[in-house]
Amino acid sequence: MILTEGIAELIGVIIGDGYIYRKNRKYQIGIVGSPKNDKEYFEKLKKLIYEEWDKKVKIKFRFRGLRMVFDSKRICEFLIDDMKMFHGKGKCQNIKIPEEIYKNWDLARHTIRGIADTDGSVFVSKKPGIEKYPSIEITTTSQNLANQLNQILIKRGFRVSLRENVRKQINALKAYKIALYGKKNLKKWIEEIGFTNPYKLNRALNYLKN
């Protein structure tokens, strides 16, 4: 299977809000999302999955969320064996960007887009002297992924803040937040990485205008 820009983006989506399952001759890929904000985005993902992997998938509403699931031994083996993607229990804490993508910005920017479209947030906060300060933030429990994102984005000239955040719940996992603050960062992100998720793209464009 040839690693294309579209597949690189789908890998980012799986890293962000997806899973790979391979056990007892069962091979499955799944993606979950928000029924409130991701309906239009899931239609785009559905089209991308068909274009890149020739798989027709249905969007289902289950357990108060959107879900797309499809079976494919070929794709699972490509993701697990060729791309070395972590799967199964502990995925969230161990997932990282495949090395072949990590070393290639032309692919990495599509994977980062997929991660941000699913696991990122675009918002404004209040700072001294600034009423609405735009921000992009990605939260992950994988330290490896957090370090990769931090290094890739800094190398591309983004101003990045990486911090640890221990959640309050008992036995909660440590989370890592990769944040990009300010209008220049947001403008640079839209120009060099972008969003496929219409909800997040529209928020970003509105914050730039206002």
Asked which of 91, 106, 133 is the last residue of a domain, the reply is 91
The string of pLDDT tens digits covering residues 4-30 is: 999 999 999 999 999 999 988 899 999
CATH code at 164? Answer: 3.10.28.10
Q: How many domains does the chain contain in total? A: 2
The answer as to whether 110 is a domain residue is no
Are the C-beta atoms of 102 and 83 separated by less than 8 Å?
no
Q: 96 is written with which tokens?
A: 């990282």
Domain boundary residue, one of 52, 75, 91: 91
Q: Which residue range forms the structural domain that includes residue 83?
A: 5-91
Decide if 106 is inside a domain. no
What are the backbone angles phi and psi of residue 174, rounded to the nearest 5°?
-75, 135
- Please tell me the distance from the alpha carbon of residue 199 to that of residue 184, in angstroms, as a whole number: 20
Q: Give this prediction's pTM.
A: 0.93
For the stretch 161-167, contacts whose Cβ atoms lie closer than 8 Å and that sit 24 or more positions apart, written own/partner, are 165/139
Above 80 in pLDDT, residue 183?
A: yes
Residue 113 lies in a domain: no
| Stronger pLDDT, 128 or 60, i.e. the higher one | 60
Is the separation of the CB atoms in 26 and 65 below 8 Å? Answer: no
C-alpha to C-alpha distance for 81 and 98, rounded to whole angstroms? 11
The mean pLDDT value for 122-128 works out to 82
Residues facing residue 137 across a β-bridge? 121, 179
Q: Quick one: pLDDT at residue 170?
A: 46
H/E stretch holding 21 reads strand 18-23
Tens of pLDDT, residues 87-119: 888 888 999 999 999 999 999 999 999 999 999
* pLDDT cut 90: percent of the chain above it: 81
Are 25 and 60 contained in the same domain?
yes
Give the pLDDT confidence of 43-81 residue by residue, as tens digits: 999 999 999 999 999 999 877 789 999 999 999 999 999
Token pair of 40, please?
């239009």
Q: Which two tokens stand for residue 89?
A: 């229990």
More confident call, 172 vs 69 = 69
Residues 199 and 130 in one domain: yes
